[in-house]
Structure 1
Amino acid sequence: MTTDTGDYDTIIIGAGPAGLFCALQAAAPGRKILILEKKPACGRKLLITGSGQCNLTHGGNIREFLARYGDHGAFLRPALLGFTNRDLIAFFESRGLDLETDENGKVFPATRKAADVLDLLLRECRERGVRVRCGEAVIAVERTDGGFLVTTGAARYTASRVVIATGGASYPATGSTGDGYRLAAALGHTVTPVRPALAPVVVEDYPFARLAGISFEGVTVSLFRDGRKTRELAGDLLFTHTGLSGPAVLHLSRYTAAGDALKVSFLPGMTREGLEKDLLAKFAAHGTRQVKTILADYGLPERFVLALLEAAGIPADRAAAHLAKKARGALIDRLTAFPFGVKAVGGFREAMVTAGGVALEEVDKKTMASKRVPGLYVIGEVLDVDGDTGGYNLQAAFSTAVAAARAITGAQGR
């Protein structure tokens, strides 16, 4: 091990989007900034964001973002309003990366290549004199009289300030293995229990494995625990080989645990009573038609209808007029509140983000500065914040990075 004789103004641990953005925002002539990254290259997780297309942010009103972070939107308010989605879009477009917004409001690079986003961030860091060292995992961070001593497997570095930007624990192959939690805890921070979020759900005795890939738009999904409904939201749903995914389930996953139940209404906007009344009218008017044909009128996929009839014990060729009242009731129940027992929530290898992390009450929400350790900043997913799909998590990473950078540069300028 060698000791780097250079004293850095700021060391940033983690070369993901939050770390890179914080570095380039804090950089200035004469200011020495070092990024330490344990993987051989920067931005490994960024490269797979949005299936490699990099959903950078969302095009909606920034104030509407606050409801997209579970119970922790209030913490992000100063950061998001201080550096908005419009600011982020302007940053990239002013540097030659065109962006486009899809029909759902998701903002992507026009090339649909995450590598173009990463290349721009690295170029900006390089041009601003930020030093980046990859393949150096940080082993320890210690507080000293003059700042911090940062130890890696290859060297020791000193700095006036340290920024933890290591990400969460999801997609561990990209380097997100929870290192930041250990470093923060060693410095005296509380770390709330971490768990997968934006993860698919594995269903007990799952009846639709052969329908994997079928999706539904705008369904209502309700979460039940011990027989009591605790959450409900509407969104798209996807059948997988082992259970449920899609935005509606992913967003609920932060609150879901094994033993819970998810009940799905496959007909948006239609109550059980409304469907019963409508079906009775259709059956009376078209008694000779097969039940599966009538159900197809609701826009349901044919394969799903057949599987639904099978689950309800109704023959596929049953005519409407011959459907018994009990069977009709069972069918209506499954269409408006199909119960799926939760066997497990997908693990960190499948989860898009991590719930839990460095406790928010110990971090200044305006500056991302630690309230416990002077000179320490915590940004991005290592915080106890997780957002919905749609670009909200990356926006939080960029916004918290800017908040920290502004605080750092203001402190150094005094």
Structure 2
Amino acid sequence: MATPTIIIIGGGPAGLFCAVHAAGEGRQVLVIEKKKSCGRKLLITGTGQCNLTHTGEVAGFFDHYGDHGKFLRPALRGFTNRNLVAFFEERGLSTVTEPNGKIFPASRKAADVLSLLLEECRRMGVEIRCDEAVEEVAATEKGFTVRTGPSSYHADALVVATGGATYPSTGSSGDGYAMARALGHTVTAIAPALAAVEVRAHPFADLAGISFEDLSISLFRENKKVREQTGDLLFTHSGLSGPGILHLSRYITAGDVLRISFLPGMTRESLVGDLVEKTASNGNRLVRTILNDYPLPERFIRKLLEAAGVAADLTSAHLDKKARNRIITHLIEWPLTVQALSGLDEAMVTRGGVSLDEVDQKSMASKLVPDLYFIGEVLDIDGDTGGYNLQAAFSTGFSAARAIARGEL
């Protein structure tokens, strides 16, 4: 093979999509993948069903990337969710949209998405070399040198699409961060995102599997409220999960306190008034039966009374103010201290990565090194669940490919 003009390191969705759109018009593209096959992480997204993107106007996407949605605006506008659906459907892969807005391939098979990307690479003349880990990258006067175990390559343009550091068994083990540093770039602190939370002295371990919808979850650090999130919550054996926790996890560190309101829409004042009225007018009813009037699972109510020090057979007439206030506190702002986030081997995506200050948001090109690009999860970007991370991968891959195609390579 002649020396490739463009080398893309990483055969995940961002890398393959970039390769498809960068190839052609005399440009030779080589994708180097360290695993024996491409797209290992893509195959497990959405439990193997591959949540490609989300429905709605693309402007609604910007708030789903934490504090970094602004950086992605040009990429998402340049290649939208509608563009992505059209790309797949025009090539024979139909999609389906769920009531919650998630878009999947109609076959519900991530393997079909990967097969289509690989076929498009083949059609466009992209060469893919698997089972070849990159050991060294260096900028030269006329491009880049990329050295693997068996070979050394020259490239006029280099695209780093190595993914983050989560699910390392799929190949996403943080290699791109070392490459970025070797090329003079800053890498921000790496941590799990879209991660479950382990809780100290977990009070709900025996309630694992119970879930709640649209709860209000507040994040406190050193007694100061720093974030708030609304979303579904799931009790696990070691702590908390569910979209509300996963989306908040990018901001959480060990030692933080989560205060959970299990009655969304009710303030402390409104609950005090409501509970006082119910207990005063129903003195013979058990406290736990009065709590059953609220949309709360029976097993949770029993745990709540235990935590508040209220006997299960206590009647409303015997509920004193202090005990009532303890119940209200647990319902409106139950405090749980974070022990840790689930590890990089369990979190869905990586928080941190190549500093966005050093990357052009329109082209994904390095501001420090000519003809160097960073795309996908290797960047300091992490999205919410619902297809936002894959959309970012495809959109940043497309942005880099368009910039390369518009250049003089």
TM-score bracket for the superposition, by shorter chain length = over 0.9
Match of 1:175 among 164, 171, 174: 171
CA deviation string 1:14-49 (max 9, x = no partner): 000000000001111532111000011111111111
CA deviation string 1:349-395 (max 9, x = no partner): 12111111111111111101111111111000101111111111111
Name the structure 2 match of 1:397: 393
5+ long unaligned stretches in structure 1:
none
Asked if structure 2 preserves the Cα contact closer than 8 Å seen for 1:29 and 1:128, the reply is no
Name the structure 2 match of 1:286: 282
**1:127 matched to 2:127:** no
SS of 1:263's equivalent? strand
CA distance in 1, matches of 2:264, 2:194: 22
> For residue 349 of structure 2, what is the amino acid of its counterpart?
V
**1:99 matched to 2:95:** yes
**1:322 matched to 2:318:** yes
Matches within 5 A, 1:81-160: 81-160=77-156
Instruction: Give 1:322 shift.
Output: 2.1
CA distance in 1, matches of 2:91, 2:279: 62
SS of 2:190's equivalent? strand
Match of 2:232 among 207, 230, 236: 236
Name the structure 2 match of 1:266: 262
Match of 2:346 among 344, 347, 350: 350
CA distance in 2, matches of 1:60, 1:318: 50
Q: TM-score, normalised by structure 2?
A: 0.98
CA distance in 1, matches of 2:22, 2:283: 72
Asked if structure 2 preserves the Cα contact closer than 8 Å seen for 1:6 and 1:157, the reply is no
Asked if structure 2 preserves the Cα contact closer than 8 Å seen for 1:223 and 1:261, the reply is yes
> For residue 196 of structure 1, what is the amino acid of its counterpart?
P
SS of 2:352's equivalent? strand
**1:295 matched to 2:285:** no
CA distance in 1, matches of 2:96, 2:286: 46
Name the structure 2 match of 1:277: 273
CA distance in 1, matches of 2:240, 2:267: 22
CA distance in 1, matches of 2:222, 2:256: 7
CA distance in 2, matches of 1:333, 1:257: 24
**1:55 matched to 2:51:** yes
**1:32 matched to 2:28:** yes
> Which stretch of the first structure deviates more once superposed, 288-297 or 150-159?
288-297
SS of 2:345's equivalent? coil
CA distance in 2, matches of 1:134, 1:147: 23
CA distance in 1, matches of 2:2, 2:305: 71
Name the structure 2 match of 1:372: 368
CA distance in 2, matches of 1:25, 1:301: 51
SS of 1:412's equivalent? coil
Q: TM-score, normalised by structure 1?
A: 0.97
CA deviation string 1:110-152 (max 9, x = no partner): 1211111111111111111111111001111111222111101
Name the structure 2 match of 1:220: 216
SS of 2:408's equivalent? helix
> For residue 406 of structure 1, what is the amino acid of its counterpart?
R
**Percentage of identical aligned residues:** 64
Name the structure 1 match of 2:241: 245
CA distance in 2, matches of 1:12, 1:94: 25
Asked if structure 2 preserves the Cα contact closer than 8 Å seen for 1:139 and 1:153, the reply is yes
* Higher strand proportion: 1
Aligned residue pairs: how many? 409
SS of 1:142's equivalent? strand
SS of 1:163's equivalent? strand
> For residue 113 of structure 2, what is the amino acid of its counterpart?
V
Asked if structure 2 preserves the Cα contact closer than 8 Å seen for 1:6 and 1:158, the reply is no
Asked if structure 2 preserves the Cα contact closer than 8 Å seen for 1:76 and 1:396, the reply is yes
> For residue 404 of structure 1, what is the amino acid of its counterpart?
A
RMSD value over aligned CA atoms? Answer: 1.1
**1:335 matched to 2:331:** yes
CA distance in 2, matches of 1:226, 1:375: 44
Instruction: Give 1:211 shift.
Output: 0.7
SS of 2:260's equivalent? strand
CA deviation string 1:319-357 (max 9, x = no partner): 222222211110010000000011111211121111111
5+ long unaligned stretches in structure 2:
none
Name the structure 2 match of 1:164: 160
**1:64 matched to 2:96:** no
SS of 1:8's equivalent? coil
Matches within 5 A, 1:70-85: 70-85=66-81
Instruction: Give 1:289 shift.
Output: 2.1
**1:304 matched to 2:295:** no
SS of 1:71's equivalent? helix
CA deviation string 1:163-196 (max 9, x = no partner): 0000000111111110000001101111111111
CA distance in 2, matches of 1:173, 1:56: 22
Name the structure 2 match of 1:23: 19
